Structure 1
Amino acid sequence: MTIKPYTGPAGGWGSAGSVTEILAREKTLLRGAAQLMHQNKPDGYACVSCAWAKPEQPHVFEFCENGVKALAWEATPKQASPAFFERHSVTELLGWADYDLEEAGRLTEPLRYDEGSDRYVPVAWDEAFEAIARELKAIDPKEAVFYASGRASLETSYMYALLARMYGTNNLPDSSNMCHESTSVALPKSIGIPVGTVQLADFETCDALFFFGQNVGSNSPRMLHPLQEASRRGVPIVTFNPLRERGLERFTNPQAPLEMATFDSTRISSQYHQVKAGGDSAALLGMCKTLIERDDEARAAGRAPILDWPFIEEHTHGFDAFAASAREARWEVLEHRSGLTRGAMEAAAAVYARAERVIGIYGMGLTQHKKGVQNVQMVVNLLLLRGNIGRPGAGICPVRGHSNVQGQRTVGISEKPDLVPLDRLAELYGFEPPREKGMNTVEACEAILAGTAKAFIGLGGNFVRAVPETQAMESAWRGMRLTVQIATKLNRSHLINGKVAYLLPCLGRTEADIQAGGPQAVTVEDSTSCIHGSIAKRPPPGEHLRSEPAIVAGLAKALLPPNPKLDWDGWVADYARIRDAIEATYPDQFRDFNARMWQPGGFHRPLGACERIWNTLTGKANFTVPETLAEDIDVTSERRDVLQLITLRSNDQFNTTVYGYRDRFRGVTGTRSVLFMHRNDIDRLGLSEGQGACLETAVDDGIARSMDGLQVVAYDIPEGCCATYYPECNLLIPLWHHAEESKVPAAKAIPVAVRKSLRAPANGAEA
């Protein structure tokens, strides 16, 4: 266990070494390297890691460090076969670390939990489907939860949503509920669509980039290429983020021989503002205040205006109310809430005012707050002031996480029936879809805790590990009658079982999918609303695995009565027929789906806001007035011993998957049990660097939540804030501590008290 500051750039030799290390560790050095040549190529497979856009003209090596790790993790020859489960009981495996569970290797056969032996035992596919269907038929469909992670293809997602609705429920929570649901709530109200308006080509013509709460170096490294190109042509990149993340500071392109040979790097951010956790609305309002007041002065003096008045008057609603709130905002409040000086906010506004085409980029640093919806709307407010939505080189760009998390919502994975063309589904398939709202992720957790959820079907993911209130959720989870997990590798959610439990192993996206109609391809949607085809040729790790569409069809045939309008077997034999069904359901979005799926760079879904068509209640883009600038409205007193905890992912993980115990950019090796704090807070609270610490959630709701054994690390983080790794810290998040309206867990601002610990900090194996 070592803590040593890292001085290198993002990318560079550090990335090259990390790539080589994991390919060798997972025994995929030669095979994996060959497969990488097909990653994110027009005739290859879409990366199973992040959802960043795929260029029309890809690099020879169109992959990043995260993409290599995802491939190695999936392509490993290690197997969690039935023999593995003969050797290890579920109780024993529950004591393993997250890393060790997935490191066991690929699941190879369908498994049933046997309570008598406390082990998973092999089961035939048809037997599993019939048993699962029998359990589901015995309960009210509204007592079942059909969860989807963000990795399943458009074809699988469409089938899965249809299965749930034909069964009789809209309980279709997904991983978006835990990250960008704040986007999906905010943007329709503000601009009339639930997704961003930016495409890759816009990065080539923008004049300025503004980043809010997104760690590009660890979460979407391929995005560093357009950022590097923008920086080199003089585009200012203004960043607002509590921690100084290396990917937003400096980047060396590992695919550029000269850069690698000379150890050269490119500056990314031209301004870097370390905003306090939850202080983004205040920082954005400070910028808007500056722009509006300078525009007032300019027009009064007869100079050219700062704001885009023709755009505001023709295309927006609510400007006067918003402008009044900005003018009335007091600088001392904005400085206190944001953690920034007035000068910093004015400097950022000055850059914005000089640019003609601005892209606003954000991630979960904005969405995972109590005021996450407001944070997103404040980014829209900033962009609307100068007409930066609906023209080339400008727009709003939410950076999604998992590789198809946006796409699955597009084709029906949603608990909100008003977002799905239910009448069209009824017409196509001759059934009456349920019309009442289903459960989102938080509501599903509430139902599990209350004992009213009887069954959970998981299409990928690690739900129990990803959600808040970990201890209570794990205890209540065992009260469900049925738990079913469709997965590639073992994780903790598979070991906390209902009374009846099944593991159904599926093919990965990097593996050849051969069905009755021959080799099959799937499709995904990236962060820029472009649809891409994906096909792989690598042999699967076992003969008993089935594709995700085949598993969904198997469940559907066992659970649902025969339907003359729906041929599940035909869909599995030829995925093109599923795409025809998607096109029939969403004709405006998926015109000529099969013909266009291999278009280089993908085909872009039509979005009204991109053409300045505003499908809002007012028929225009809406300015919104922020309700409050308080960074945490759950803490009612100004307690000096309370810090705002920010949850982090390390450089060696993606979502809940931990690839190793090295967070290269933050200089942490051999452990995940660290607590990053400002040195002033360490001294003020009577702690010392390297000391053990315990975190206690600082809310009074009658539930004690604590996390012990963390090593204190002095770090460049705003005073009053601290940080530690997700998902281990989820036990500190109350289930009710979520974003208003969207119910996204407020994981980026958890009020905690820091105490000295009597327990030694944990090493990697204990984390």
Structure 2
Amino acid sequence: MTSKIRFPKIKPYSGPAGGWGSAKSIAEIAVREHVTLKAPELLSKQNKPQGYMCVSCAWAKPAKPHPLEFCENGAKATAWEVTSRRADRAFFDKYTLRELELWPDHDLEAQGRLIHPMRWDAATDKYIPVAWAAAFEEIGRELRGLDPHQVDFYTSGRASLETSYMYQLFARMYGSNNMPDSSNMCHESSSAALPESIGASVGTAVLSDFQNTDCIFYIAQNVGTSSPRLLHDLQDAVDRGVKIVTFNLLRERGLERFVNPQSPTQMVTGKETKISSEYYQVKNGGDIAALFGVCKALIEADDTLKASGGSRVAGEDAKPKDPDNAAMVAFAASIAAADKLHVLDHDFINEHTTGFEKFAQAARGHQWEELERVSGLGRDQMMQAAATYAKSDAVMMVYGMGLTQQLMGVQNVHMVCNLALLRGNIGKPGANICAVRGHSNVQGQRTVGITEKPGLAPLDKLSELYGFEPPRWTGRSTIETCEAIMSGQSRGFISLGGNFLRAVPDTAAMEEGWRKLGLSVQIATKLNRSHVVHGEIAYLLPCLGRIELDEQATGPQAVSIESSIANFHGSRGMTKPASTELLSEPAIVAGMAKATLGETKVPWDTWVGDYAEIRDAIERTYPETFKDFNKRLFKPGGFARALPARERKWVTKSGKANFLTPERLFPEFSTSQNADVLHLATLRSNDQFNTTIYGYSDRFRGVEGTRKIVFMNPEDIIRWGFADGESVDVTTAIDANNVRKVTALRIVPYDIPKGCCGAYYPETNPLFPLAHHDPKSKTPSYKLLPVRLSRSIEIPHEGELRRMTP
């Protein structure tokens, strides 16, 4: 084992997203993980029909894929998974878990693949090998000794549909509805808001919408880091003349400029595609105000045209807020000059929606000065965005976690729907809502029953099929599970993938509670912090990765996932497993279930031997969604999940799509009058995916060698008397009872609105109180937290010690 000092380098990046920078980054990780020989063949099959589905993001898999249907982050995820490195017995013999707790997240995962089932030994404070049968026997015995209300079954977004179905069945047959999952921490605000607005739990967009749209409103999602393959669809749209109107906190390179690595012409000439035609930097927390501004401009322009006899409008008593305003008259005239008969689609509004008048009155009532102050945008900017929208016939709404991970995340999503409904931009070609999801099957696991809400699962059908009475009580979401762990109410935690301790807020308090768990079981491919901090009895169960060949009794197996656009895809493993001791995720779930439940009507062994049998069971449980599941498994482009809203059928209480009016523009904790408070948003680098840190490079933001960074507006740095490169402590500024601190972050000037700052996730998760979340979705508000900065009392350091494997 050697050590290496990496000295941070901060240098603005002038290049585009993609291009040679992306190619170089992929080559570097392939060399580092010693997979240069097998990576090219594997990557050629990534996201292809009959190939394997990326273990990184959930973006759509086209029926006619590009020659290379992977992105920089997808390639990193593949190399990270099939690495030649091994966290073997020799490694665990060498270090105690207390020693490993001091290691950075990157270094834990960088040890490579886990290859032996292990149990924590209290006498030595080390993980020691254990036989699979003995592990299952003890886990089953411990679970039988616990009240099912005390046990939580967590799922990360990577497990297949087959495994997720088995897992939720195991939990329910055990008697628990505690099924927190990674959706709770990312797009739960969508899952709460979209059913209320349009009667769908997921976005309505399909891939062909990108070929049929006239305009894309792109809101709070960093495509260059989070879902780079989507850049191909955006580039194709731009080449057709589609305008992309972006609302985002930071200037992100993927939303500005792109060089397609698959285009020899662009790579040789360096010719860039300008992605956003309009780019509006919204203050974090200012999204409702910004979208209200766009809606206000549209509604008042419609009022103005109506007053002048230029349009049809619903409600004869509707009156313009300020008909004499020259700017509004000119704006309305520009709409009319574009041969638009009216600004709003009143035929659609009258036939398909409710709540329009209440929403319209609220929009008229908001003063421009207030909208400008809260959003950080000028009136002219919001009106320009409205003009682009009004002059387009088919508009897509694309958004990400920048909207959902806020205190008002549900109402943010309502506003996206409101804007779409004003001009009938749902349920027609080129006009739909696209919620860009994160992990590769985070959406799909919900589809097959991973939910703490009993009303969302087919409990009667499960009872009929498997002869048991499912629990009907409401289980715990992620935040509620954290509360239960902290209070000692949770005694057992089973984790199907993920790095729960790093993903959740309130890190210090969570780790303290985590150590008091009676049982912690981790199904994983690599070592992470949730493994080295542990319960009184702790098991580490290594599984096959999705990219690996999965040989069972009936031969090689395939699994399935659901993409962001609600299409189901088959996936086949392609490479030799990291160890002969690994079991598949279905086999591990079945092993625990049999040891815990004893004899049941579930054919666990049959399912493990043939995953097609699991898919048949899924089809029996969800016959409409998964009709002919096995027959359609490898359909090019996947097969679509039925969503009535795509056909303008609204499965809501009103039977229509609903305009839902946010109760306010900004959360009640508003500290805008406090000159010493900044609003923090957490960020991902382009060298990470969720909690997995591939390296210490954030190329697009010009940061190398460190993640201890706080990005600030240059004027804020000067105003508060700080300096570029200075070391500061960041403290939570909600109230005196919620003070938390992260120390010694280096100030980096960046193009971010005044009054805002950004820092990396999960390094700044300790700042977030557990109670700081959307009240309905309980999604942590990782994109909006008031903080204060002070000079660090720690000695500033120019480098960070990294443990490097030999």
Give the TM interval when normalised to the shorter protein.
Answer: over 0.9
With over 3 angstroms needed to count, the CA separation of the structure-2 counterparts of 1:701 and 1:418, relative to structure 1, is farther
Cα separation, 1, equivalents of 2:187 and 2:176:
23
Q: Secondary structure at the match of 1:286?
A: helix
Preserved CA contact (<8 Å) 2:58 2:437? yes
- Distance apart, 1:703 and its partner CA: 4.2
Preserved CA contact (<8 Å) 1:370 1:633? no
Q: Calculate the aligned-residue CA RMSD, in Å.
A: 1.0
1:298 pairs with 2:305: yes
Give the partner amino acid of 2:272: S
Q: Which residue of 2 aligns with 1:138?
A: 145
Cα separation, 2, equivalents of 1:637 and 1:739:
20
Report how many residues are paired.
765
Instruction: Within 5 Å, give how 1:215-254 maps onto structure 2.
Output: 215-254=222-261
Worse overlay, 292-301 or 159-168 = 292-301
Q: Which residue of 1 aligns with 2:615?
A: 579
1:424 pairs with 2:431: no
Q: Which residue of 2 aligns with 1:629?
A: 665
Q: 2:724 aligns with which of 675, 684, 689?
A: 689
Q: Gaps spanning 5+ residues in structure 2: where?
A: 1-7, 311-340
Cα separation, 2, equivalents of 1:568 and 1:208:
49
- Distance apart, 1:433 and its partner CA: 0.4
Cα separation, 2, equivalents of 1:508 and 1:124:
20
Per-residue CA shift, 1:336-378, capped at 9, x if unaligned?
A: 1100000000000000000110000100100011000000000
Cα separation, 2, equivalents of 1:636 and 1:519:
58
1:440 pairs with 2:477: yes
Q: Secondary structure at the match of 2:764?
A: helix
Q: Which residue of 2 aligns with 1:499?
A: 536
Cα separation, 2, equivalents of 1:276 and 1:577:
50
- Distance apart, 1:561 and its partner CA: 2.6
Give the partner amino acid of 2:169: L
- Distance apart, 1:758 and its partner CA: 2.6
Give the partner amino acid of 1:658: I
Cα separation, 1, equivalents of 2:135 and 2:664:
52
Instruction: Within 5 Å, give how 1:23-34 maps onto structure 2.
Output: 23-34=30-41
Q: Secondary structure at the match of 1:449?
A: helix
Instruction: Within 5 Å, give how 1:161-310 maps onto structure 2.
Output: 161-303=168-310, 304-310=341-347
1:462 pairs with 2:499: yes
Q: Which residue of 2 aligns with 1:700?
A: 735
Instruction: Within 5 Å, give how 1:753-764 maps onto structure 2.
Output: 753-759=788-794, 760-761=796-797, 763-764=799-800
Give the partner amino acid of 1:428: L
Preserved CA contact (<8 Å) 2:671 2:786? no
With over 3 angstroms needed to count, the CA separation of the structure-2 counterparts of 1:621 and 1:703, relative to structure 1, is closer
Cα separation, 2, equivalents of 1:687 and 1:638:
20
Preserved CA contact (<8 Å) 1:483 1:498? yes
Preserved CA contact (<8 Å) 1:97 1:765? no
Give the partner amino acid of 2:631: A
Q: Which residue of 2 aligns with 1:59?
A: 66
Give the partner amino acid of 1:693: V
- Distance apart, 1:302 and its partner CA: 2.2
Q: Which residue of 1 aligns with 2:119?
A: 112
Cα separation, 1, equivalents of 2:551 and 2:393:
50
- Distance apart, 1:672 and its partner CA: 0.4
1:93 pairs with 2:100: yes
Q: Which residue of 1 aligns with 2:358?
A: 321
Q: Which residue of 2 aligns with 1:601?
A: 637
Give the partner amino acid of 2:288: S
Cα separation, 2, equivalents of 1:761 and 1:353:
52
1:396 pairs with 2:403: no
Q: 1:590 aligns with which of 626, 629, 633?
A: 626
Give the partner amino acid of 2:761: Y
Q: 2:527 aligns with which of 490, 493, 501?
A: 490
Worse overlay, 32-41 or 700-709 = 700-709
- Distance apart, 1:570 and its partner CA: 0.1
Preserved CA contact (<8 Å) 1:710 1:762? no
Give the partner amino acid of 2:154: Y
Q: Which residue of 1 aligns with 2:333?
A: none
Per-residue CA shift, 1:203-243, capped at 9, x if unaligned?
A: 00100000111000000000000100111111000000010
Give the partner amino acid of 2:459: L
Preserved CA contact (<8 Å) 1:76 1:106? yes
With over 3 angstroms needed to count, the CA separation of the structure-2 counterparts of 1:82 and 1:221, relative to structure 1, is same
Q: Which residue of 1 aligns with 2:383?
A: 346
Q: Secondary structure at the match of 1:428?
A: helix
Cα separation, 1, equivalents of 2:407 and 2:524:
32
Cα separation, 1, equivalents of 2:277 and 2:37:
40
Q: 1:710 aligns with which of 745, 761, 770?
A: 745
TM-score (norm 1): 0.99
Q: Which residue of 1 aligns with 2:337?
A: none
Cα separation, 2, equivalents of 1:25 and 1:324:
59
Cα separation, 1, equivalents of 2:294 and 2:501:
40
Cα separation, 2, equivalents of 1:569 and 1:670:
48
Q: Secondary structure at the match of 2:289?
A: helix
Give the partner amino acid of 1:466: A
Cα separation, 2, equivalents of 1:703 and 1:594:
51
TM-score (norm 2): 0.94
Q: Which residue of 1 aligns with 2:599?
A: 562
Cα separation, 2, equivalents of 1:308 and 1:398:
23
Preserved CA contact (<8 Å) 2:107 2:802? no
Cα separation, 2, equivalents of 1:50 and 1:535:
17
- Distance apart, 1:536 and its partner CA: 1.5
Cα separation, 1, equivalents of 2:572 and 2:799:
40
Q: Which residue of 1 aligns with 2:330?
A: none
Q: Secondary structure at the match of 1:634?
A: coil
Preserved CA contact (<8 Å) 1:673 1:761? no
Instruction: Within 5 Å, give how 1:31-46 maps onto structure 2.
Output: 31-46=38-53
- Distance apart, 1:40 and its partner CA: 0.5
- Distance apart, 1:761 and its partner CA: 4.4
- Distance apart, 1:623 and its partner CA: 0.1
With over 3 angstroms needed to count, the CA separation of the structure-2 counterparts of 1:545 and 1:145, relative to structure 1, is same
Q: Which residue of 1 aligns with 2:566?
A: 529
With over 3 angstroms needed to count, the CA separation of the structure-2 counterparts of 1:270 and 1:675, relative to structure 1, is same
Q: Secondary structure at the match of 1:433?
A: coil
Give the partner amino acid of 2:652: T
Worse overlay, 362-371 or 298-307 = 298-307
Q: Which residue of 2 aligns with 1:749?
A: 784
Q: Which residue of 2 aligns with 1:158?
A: 165
Q: Which residue of 1 aligns with 2:769?
A: 734
Per-residue CA shift, 1:457-514, capped at 9, x if unaligned?
A: 0000000011000001011110110000000000000011100000000000000000
1:516 pairs with 2:553: yes
- Distance apart, 1:300 and its partner CA: 2.2
Cα separation, 1, equivalents of 2:738 and 2:54:
41
Q: Which residue of 1 aligns with 2:648?
A: 612
- Distance apart, 1:762 and its partner CA: 6.2
Q: Secondary structure at the match of 1:221?
A: coil
With over 3 angstroms needed to count, the CA separation of the structure-2 counterparts of 1:390 and 1:329, relative to structure 1, is same
Q: Secondary structure at the match of 1:588?
A: coil
Preserved CA contact (<8 Å) 1:709 1:762? no
Q: Gaps spanning 5+ residues in structure 1: where?
A: none
Q: Secondary structure at the match of 1:752?
A: strand
- Distance apart, 1:20 and its partner CA: 0.3
Q: 1:71 aligns with which of 63, 75, 78?
A: 78
Q: 1:369 aligns with which of 368, 393, 406?
A: 406
Preserved CA contact (<8 Å) 2:685 2:698? yes
Preserved CA contact (<8 Å) 2:732 2:738? no
Cα separation, 1, equivalents of 2:697 and 2:671:
38
Preserved CA contact (<8 Å) 2:671 2:677? no
Cα separation, 1, equivalents of 2:432 and 2:255:
20
Cα separation, 2, equivalents of 1:445 and 1:762:
35
Q: Which residue of 1 aligns with 2:3?
A: none
Give the partner amino acid of 2:368: W
With over 3 angstroms needed to count, the CA separation of the structure-2 counterparts of 1:245 and 1:238, relative to structure 1, is same
Preserved CA contact (<8 Å) 2:733 2:786? yes
Preserved CA contact (<8 Å) 1:107 1:490? yes
Cα separation, 2, equivalents of 1:194 and 1:392:
20
Per-residue CA shift, 1:264-301, capped at 9, x if unaligned?
A: 11000000000000100000000000001111111222
Cα separation, 1, equivalents of 2:620 and 2:180:
24
